[in-house]
Amino acid sequence: MPALEDAPRAPGRPRSVRVDEAIVSATLDLLAEGTTVDVLSIEAIASRAGVGKATIYRRWPGKEALLHDALATLKLPGPELAGESVRDDLIALLSQVGPTGHDPRFPKILPCILPHLSRSPEHYQAYQDIIEPRRNRVRQVLRRGVANGELRADLDIELTMAVLIGPILMQRVVRWHPDLDADKMPEQVVDLLMAGIAPH
């Protein structure tokens, strides 16, 4: 974050935005290729980005900080929601989980950072700011459904989110259920649940 727009303009050669992007992208690439967080090294990132190590250390204090910033670039806003029906909006949102979503690398990256996230509550907390906004979109659609009667009034929102997201995430990350097609799951899962979620 470069302070403010109207910064006093520091002297000397300004940092290259290209280099910024190259470093972040190299980090995500390596993760997407199966490099676990513990194996991920500044050296490898630098080499992949065609950049000197010093250039990376000039911007980030270490691997952890770079990783967080890199993952944060994935939190693009979701799609426009039609807003017609809760069912359609949920399907649209859940379809964003996967190669067709914000970044095609996401499903490959996730398993590589899971061990790191599950290491301790602190590690997990550190990435809530990235995870939460996406979850929040689902939450709001569900709330809308409860409000306008499309969904049951006594619905447990958090639980419902878990049941919606969990299966699709598991199928994307590993194909835990070999006989299912991850692309069709959003619609299938929503429809399977609706009968239980809907007022009648």
Partner DNA sequence: GCGATACGAACCTGTGCCGTTTCGTAACTG
Partner DNA sequence: CAGTTACGAAACGGCACAGGTTCGTATCGC
Q: What is the contact surface with DNA in residues (CB under 7 A)?
A: 9-16, 19, 22, 41-44, 50-55, 57-59, 62-63
Taking the C-alpha atoms of residue 97 and residue 178, their distance in angstroms, rounded to an integer, is: 18
Q: Which does 167 bind (CB under 5 to 8 A by kind): DNA, its own copies, none?
A: its own copies
Rounded least distance, CB 155 to DNA, Å: 46
Q: Which is nearer to its own copies, 21 or 156 (CB)?
A: 156
Question: 91 near 190, Cβ under 8 Å?
Answer: yes
Q: Which does 57 bind (CB under 5 to 8 A by kind): DNA, its own copies, none?
A: DNA
How many other C-beta atoms can be found within 10 angstroms of the C-beta atom of residue 29? Answer: 17
Taking the C-alpha atoms of residue 186 and residue 93, their distance in angstroms, rounded to an integer, is: 9
Rounded least distance, CB 181 to its own copies, Å: 10
How many Cα atoms sit within 13 Å of 152 on the Cβ side?
Answer: 13
Rounded least distance, CB 28 to DNA, Å: 16
DSSP 175: -
Taking the C-alpha atoms of residue 119 and residue 123, their distance in angstroms, rounded to an integer, is: 7
Taking the C-alpha atoms of residue 186 and residue 200, their distance in angstroms, rounded to an integer, is: 21
Rounded least distance, CB 120 to DNA, Å: 19
Nearest to 133 by CA among 92, 190, 71, 77: 77
Taking the C-alpha atoms of residue 98 and residue 105, their distance in angstroms, rounded to an integer, is: 8
Q: Which does 128 bind (CB under 5 to 8 A by kind): DNA, its own copies, none?
A: its own copies
Rounded least distance, CB 82 to DNA, Å: 42
Q: Which is nearer to its own copies, 22 or 185 (CB)?
A: 185
Q: Which is nearer to DNA, 30 or 190 (CB)?
A: 30
Taking the C-alpha atoms of residue 94 and residue 169, their distance in angstroms, rounded to an integer, is: 9
The two structure tokens encoding residue 11 = 């002297």
Q: Which is nearer to its own copies, 22 or 91 (CB)?
A: 91
Q: Which does 16 bind (CB under 5 to 8 A by kind): DNA, its own copies, none?
A: DNA
Q: Which is nearer to DNA, 63 or 102 (CB)?
A: 63
Q: Which is nearer to DNA, 15 or 184 (CB)?
A: 15
Rounded least distance, CB 103 to DNA, Å: 23
